[in-house]
Structure 1
Amino acid sequence: MVKETKYYECLGVDPSATEAQLKTAYKKGALKFHPDKNKNNPEAAEKFKELSHAYEILSDSQKRAIYDQYGEEGLEGGGAGGGMNAEDLFSQFFGGGGAFGGMFGGGMRDTGPKKARTIHHVHKVNLEDIYRGKVSKLALQKSVICSGCEGRGGKEGAVKECTGCNGSGMKTMMRQMGPMIQRFQTVCPDCNGEGEIIRDKDRCKKCNGKKTVVERKVLHVHVDKGVRDGHKIEFRGEGDQMPGVMPGDVVFEIEQKPHPRFQRKNDDLFYQAEIDLLTALAGGTIHIEHLDDRWLTVNIAPGEVIVPDAIKVIHGQGMPSFRHHDFGNLYIKFDVKFPEKDQLQNLDLLEKDFELEDIDTTENSQARAHGAAGAMDEDDDDVPPGAERVQCASQ
């Protein structure tokens, strides 16, 4: 059987390394890859967890012996996965946050009291409300410390620590499987994983010994003008409560709903306008309903030919900039609708316009020809009634 050495390689030591060498290797690696020093590097955070896990196994003589003989398979069932997390191990190893906090300035994550879980919610908001800003009233269910027993679970002095698991709620069990010893963790059967023993008659009637009760809470969520998709609004201390830990937080993440008329990109708005061929060629006016119920008038000047997919920009009519006082732009993209065969009345009007222009041109050319003829006949003083002489100006 080939001896497994992955944990040794993770720490960068030889399988024959002493306990002191393991400590030195872990200290060096943990300080290098700690998340507080590498806040924008998820790979470093993962490496930190791997280092901590490897050291936890190899620093325990019993776990190390099982790993050396049977590899990770021998540790399955709890020997490897049921230990402390990486931050707890780091804190225990370095004796608190002083050394690390002083080195990197930010301190460790677990230097203070632990917190209850954070409650995450997605708050879907339409584009009109983001444009104008609004306050949403959102209700949530959270756990709060029972007021009947003040979080004890029963009468004062009636709650005892479970002796079967020493208050951890978990028991470590050993099982012989042929030549292999398997070590695993299981929920303590004496306290059902609670870590405490409360006699039924002493349990709190309000929470039934659970120490917390569920409460409905209404929060006023301020959606600021121009807030962007994915923005998070935090309510610190408004999350779940648990005895002995700080209350958790509530985080609302803004999700912008799709809009039927506008598309948004950062602070700019995009609008698709459909116009007919007559308006595209001869000009006209279109009206756009904005997000605050205003109507914008967009003029297409005569002679300003609009081709399909042409874009007009209206400055300052986009989205309000988040926490600033300016606005983005509104981009209007035109879709020119050509008439069907049975819808040619507008095209007939265009043809009549062009015919009138052709007639005017013909009459003018005839007048110019007639006048030129009169100018060439210098001896003819008889000018036909209604005709005008045309003189050529010298250049």
Structure 2
Amino acid sequence: MKKDYYEILSIERTATTEQIKKAYRKKAIEYHPDKNPGNKEAEENFKLAAEAYEILSDPNKKARYDQYGHAAFENGGFGGGGGMNMDDIFSQFGDIFGSAFGGGFSGFGGFGGGGGQRRMKGSNLRIKVKLTLEEIANGVEKKIKVKRKIQAHGVSFKTCPTCNGTGQVMKVTNTILGRMQTASSCHSCGGTGQIIESKPNHADAQGMIMEDDTVSIKIPAGVADGMQLKVSGKGNDAPGNNSIPGDLIVAIEEIEHETLKREGENLHLDLYISFAEAALGTNKDIDTVNGKVRIKLEEGIQSGKILRLKGKGVPSINSYGSGDLLVHVNVWTPKKLTKEQKQFFENSLTDENFTPSPEKSDKSFFEKVKDMFS
């Protein structure tokens, strides 16, 4: 069983955002690879702390975790922190504890090997993808063109003579407490441990060029507006022989549907019918995310009636089934009547059959609203 994220960071469930950040920084420094070379247990604790922080520092992920626990991110759950590697951790959260290690990370390529070359990761790219409600409900694969930096063909690198390939320079300072040694990123190579030996004329100073790339993005069913997907390795390249590309961050933007309104996993539809259709009953074709379906309205149906179509909503991102489609029946009152129509309704004013007589089983508006949200 996976350990509780709050327990990993040694905090209460009521901890504030700042308390969560401080707790993570403390754990990250305690288990940092530079302080625990070759210690696999410390490395694992370092990863667990980063995973816990990724979830608890995000209000949306934290709310889902508080409600469902680890199950919220299982079965390919969207946005989970499981399986984080060291590159992800230093790329996303390095600024939180980097100053405690002089700005550099020895062993970045091997994590715990000590003295290894820093492995650079390219910068992330961010794009926005617009999706229809139908695409969100059924999942979709999108092919997106992006401009990304890649290493030019023919570029070569050599070991940085300033730091001898470590990416760091050491500085010794005399203090009242004795000699203090600190490490900082090498100014010659920017911490990569390598400098350019040769490059083609069309490449920039880091040996990079811009290139158009088509990226295939599989978007799972059930995503929501504002969610983000990460496509690993589809961001910008980084200079150096041992570098890895950054990631492509895909922000989801939901296109508003013409008739269906989304509320979490449930959908709402306003259906307008005439007096005659309400009195006599009728069949209606209505929109769903999977096309049109026909529903039957019984004779004498009342305005405000809510029909629930089970499973016709949006699938859960965490594979908990699908929401429902709630059809709100509205009886449309005509604004203009012919002389004959007006005469008919005037005659109906004293007709007992047209006198409102709600049954006890008929729910009030407030009861319907309560049922809808329960």
User: TM-score, normalization: structure 1?
Assistant: 0.51
SS in 2 for 1:142: strand
Counterpart of 1:29 in structure 2 is none
Aligned partners of 1:285 and 1:298 also within 8 Å: yes
1:291 pairs with 2:270:
no
Counterpart of 2:43 in structure 1 is 101
Deviation of 1:49 after TM superposition, in Å, equals: 8.2
Counterpart of 1:213 in structure 2 is 209
Deviation of 1:310 after TM superposition, in Å, equals: 2.2
2:43 partner letter: G
Counterpart of 2:63 in structure 1 is none
Residue 130 (structure 2) aligned to one of 124, 133, 138: 124
Deviation of 1:228 after TM superposition, in Å, equals: 3.8
Aligned partners of 2:278 and 2:302 also within 8 Å: yes
Q: Partners in 2 of 1:35 and 1:117 — Cα distance?
A: 32
1:43 pairs with 2:18:
yes
Aligned partners of 1:267 and 1:329 also within 8 Å: yes
SS in 1 for 2:144: strand
Cα deviation, 1:57-110, whole Å, max 9, x if unaligned, reads xxxxxxxxxxxxxxxxxxxxxxxxxxxxx8699544444764622556748645
1:279 pairs with 2:282:
no
Residue 266 (structure 1) aligned to one of 257, 264, 267: 264
Q: Which moved more, 1:329-338 or 1:135-144?
A: 329-338
Q: Partners in 2 of 1:217 and 1:36 — Cα distance?
A: 40
Q: Partners in 2 of 1:306 and 1:328 — Cα distance?
A: 25
Aligned partners of 1:278 and 1:346 also within 8 Å: no
Aligned partners of 1:38 and 1:44 also within 8 Å: no
Counterpart of 2:307 in structure 1 is 312
Aligned partners of 2:32 and 2:42 also within 8 Å: no
Are the structure 2 counterparts of residues 314 and 43 from structure 1 closer, same or farther at C-alpha, using a change threshold of 3 Å?
same
Deviation of 1:318 after TM superposition, in Å, equals: 2.5
1:136 pairs with 2:142:
yes
1:301 partner letter: E
Q: Partners in 1 of 2:45 and 2:196 — Cα distance?
A: 45
1:116 partner letter: G
Deviation of 1:207 after TM superposition, in Å, equals: 0.9
Any stretches of 5+ residues in structure 2 without a counterpart?
Answer: 1-5, 50-85, 91-106, 110-118, 170-183, 354-374
Counterpart of 2:234 in structure 1 is 238
Q: Partners in 1 of 2:282 and 2:190 — Cα distance?
A: 78
Are the structure 2 counterparts of residues 120 and 300 from structure 1 closer, same or farther at C-alpha, using a change threshold of 3 Å?
same
Residue 200 (structure 2) aligned to one of 162, 182, 204: 204
Counterpart of 1:300 in structure 2 is 297
Deviation of 1:301 after TM superposition, in Å, equals: 2.0
Matches within 5 A, 1:64-79: none
Q: Partners in 2 of 1:342 and 1:282 — Cα distance?
A: 20
Deviation of 1:269 after TM superposition, in Å, equals: 1.5
Deviation of 1:349 after TM superposition, in Å, equals: 5.0
SS in 2 for 1:305: coil
Q: Partners in 2 of 1:210 and 1:48 — Cα distance?
A: 37
Q: Partners in 2 of 1:206 and 1:122 — Cα distance?
A: 30
Are the structure 2 counterparts of residues 45 and 293 from structure 1 closer, same or farther at C-alpha, using a change threshold of 3 Å?
closer
Deviation of 1:35 after TM superposition, in Å, equals: 12
Are the structure 2 counterparts of residues 337 and 229 from structure 1 closer, same or farther at C-alpha, using a change threshold of 3 Å?
same
**What is the aligned-residue identity percentage?**
19
- Which of these two proteins has the greater Rg computed from alpha carbons? 1
SS in 1 for 2:18: helix
Deviation of 1:216 after TM superposition, in Å, equals: 1.3
SS in 2 for 1:340: coil
Are the structure 2 counterparts of residues 314 and 87 from structure 1 closer, same or farther at C-alpha, using a change threshold of 3 Å?
same
Are the structure 2 counterparts of residues 96 and 276 from structure 1 closer, same or farther at C-alpha, using a change threshold of 3 Å?
same
Aligned partners of 2:225 and 2:254 also within 8 Å: yes
Deviation of 1:143 after TM superposition, in Å, equals: 1.3
2:216 partner letter: H
Q: Partners in 2 of 1:357 and 1:214 — Cα distance?
A: 79
Are the structure 2 counterparts of residues 260 and 142 from structure 1 closer, same or farther at C-alpha, using a change threshold of 3 Å?
same
Residue 254 (structure 1) aligned to one of 230, 240, 252: 252
Are the structure 2 counterparts of residues 323 and 345 from structure 1 closer, same or farther at C-alpha, using a change threshold of 3 Å?
farther
Q: Partners in 2 of 1:291 and 1:345 — Cα distance?
A: 42
Counterpart of 1:364 in structure 2 is none
2:254 partner letter: Q
Deviation of 1:205 after TM superposition, in Å, equals: 1.2
Counterpart of 2:361 in structure 1 is none
Aligned partners of 1:162 and 1:196 also within 8 Å: no
Q: Partners in 1 of 2:190 and 2:232 — Cα distance?
A: 32
Q: Partners in 2 of 1:35 and 1:325 — Cα distance?
A: 26
Are the structure 2 counterparts of residues 193 and 246 from structure 1 closer, same or farther at C-alpha, using a change threshold of 3 Å?
closer
Aligned partners of 2:155 and 2:196 also within 8 Å: no
Q: Partners in 2 of 1:35 and 1:145 — Cα distance?
A: 43
Q: Partners in 1 of 2:278 and 2:301 — Cα distance?
A: 6
Q: Partners in 2 of 1:237 and 1:228 — Cα distance?
A: 24
Tell me how large the CA RMSD over aligned residues is: 4.7
Q: Partners in 2 of 1:94 and 1:321 — Cα distance?
A: 41
Counterpart of 1:330 in structure 2 is 325
Q: Partners in 2 of 1:229 and 1:99 — Cα distance?
A: 39
Cα deviation, 1:300-336, whole Å, max 9, x if unaligned, reads 222x2313x2211223333345575954322111222
Counterpart of 1:391 in structure 2 is none
